[in-house]
Amino acid sequence: MKDFFRTFFASLLALAVAGGLAFLLFFGILAVVGASSKPTVPSRAILVFDLNTSLVDGQPAPDPGQALDAVLSGSGAPTQSLPAAIDALDRASTDDRIAALYLTGNLRSAGPAQLTELRAAIQRFKAKKPVIAYNMNWGKREYYLAAGASTVYVNPVGSVAADGYASEPMYFGDAFKKYGVEVQVTRVGKFKSAVEPYVRDKMSDADREQVQKLLDDLWGDWKTSVARDRHITPEAIQALADTKGTLEADEALQAHLVDKVAPYDVVLDALKALAGRGPKDREFPQIALSTYAGIPDGVRRGRNRIAVLVAEGEIVDGEGRPGQVGGDSFSRALRRLRLDPTVKAVVLRVDSPGGSVAASELIQREVVLTRKVKPVIVSMGHLAASGGYWISTYGDRIFAEPGTITGSIGVFGMLPNVKKLANDHGITWDSVQTARMADVMTLTRPKTDFELARIQDTVDHIYDLFVTKVADSRKLSKDAVEAIAQGRVWSGQEAVKLGLVDQIGGLGAAERYAAKMAKVGDDYYISGPDVAPDAFRDLLVRLLQGKPREVAKAGPVDVLVGDFKRQFALLSSLNDPQGVYARLPYDLDLR
DSSP per residue, 192-247: --TTHHHH-SS--HHHHHHHHHHHHHHHHHHHHHHHHHHTS-HHHHHHHHHHTSEE
Say which residues have a Cβ less than 8 Å from residue 585's Cβ, sequence separation at least 6: 191, 192, 193, 194, 196, 207, 210, 386, 408, 410, 487, 489
User: Could you give the dihedral angle defined by the CA atoms of residues 527, 110, 114 and 146, in that order, rounded to the nearest 10 degrees?
Assistant: 120
What is this structure's pTM? 0.82
Which residues are 277's β-sheet partners? Answer: none
Strands 131-138 and 98-104: parallel
Q: Would you list the domain boundaries of the chain?
A: 45-162+244-293, 304-425+439-531+553-583
d(CA 376, CA 518): 10
The pLDDT value given to residue 415: 80
Three-state SS at 24: helix
Catalytic residue, from 386, 392, 473, 573: name it: 386
List Cα–Cα distances, 123 to 82, 129, 145, in angstroms: 15, 10, 9
d(CA 379, CA 511): 9
Gap between the terminal Cα atoms of the chain: 70
The pLDDT value given to residue 9: 47
Say which residues have a Cβ less than 8 Å from residue 187's Cβ, sequence separation at least 6: 194, 195, 410, 411, 412, 413, 459, 487
d(CA 43, CA 41): 7
How wide is the angle at C-alpha 210 spanned by C-alphas 206 and 216, nearest 5°? 145
pLDDT (tens digit per residue) in 458-484:
888 999 999 999 999 999 999 999 999
Catalytic residue, from 140, 192, 374, 447: name it: 192
- Within 10 angstroms of residue 581's Cβ, the number of other Cβ atoms is 31
* Sequence letter at residue 314: E
* Sequence letter at residue 357: V
Do residues 547 and 541 touch, judged by C-beta distance below 8 A?
yes
DSSP state, 109? B
Q: Chunked in runs of 10, what are the mean pLDDT values of the chain (591 residues)?
A: 50 52 48 57 94 82 50 60 94 96 93 95 97 96 96 96 90 86 80 81 89 93 96 96 94 97 96 93 92 80 92 91 90 95 96 92 97 97 94 97 93 82 85 84 85 86 93 96 92 96 96 96 82 48 45 48 56 62 62 61
192 has catalytic annotation: yes
Spell out the CATH class of 45-162+244-293: alpha beta
- Per cent of the chain over pLDDT 90 is 55
The pLDDT value given to residue 253: 97
Do residues 331 and 362 touch, judged by C-beta distance below 8 A?
yes
b/e per residue 520-556 (b: at least 16 CB within 10 A): beeebebebbebeebbbbbbbbbeeeeebeeeeeeee
In degrees and rounded to multiples of 5, residue 107 shows phi and psi of -60, 140
d(CA 116, CA 403): 8
Could you please report the per-residue DSSP string of 464-495?
HHHHHHHHHHHT--HHHHHHH-TT-EEEHHHH
- Within 10 angstroms of residue 13's Cβ, the number of other Cβ atoms is 10
Say which residues have a Cβ less than 8 Å from residue 199's Cβ, sequence separation at least 6: 173, 176, 183, 185
129 has catalytic annotation: no
pLDDT (tens digit per residue) in 425-460:
898 888 888 888 888 878 888 888 888 888 888 888
Does this chain's domain 45-162+244-293 share its CATH topology with 304-425+439-531+553-583?
Answer: yes
b/e per residue 21-44 (b: at least 16 CB within 10 A): eeeeeebeebeeeeeeeeeebeeb
- Within 10 angstroms of residue 68's Cβ, the number of other Cβ atoms is 14
Do residues 319 and 328 touch, judged by C-beta distance below 8 A?
yes
Architecture of the CATH domain 304-425+439-531+553-583: Alpha-Beta Complex (3.90)
* Sequence letter at residue 214: L
Q: Give Cα 312 distance to the centre of its chain.
A: 6
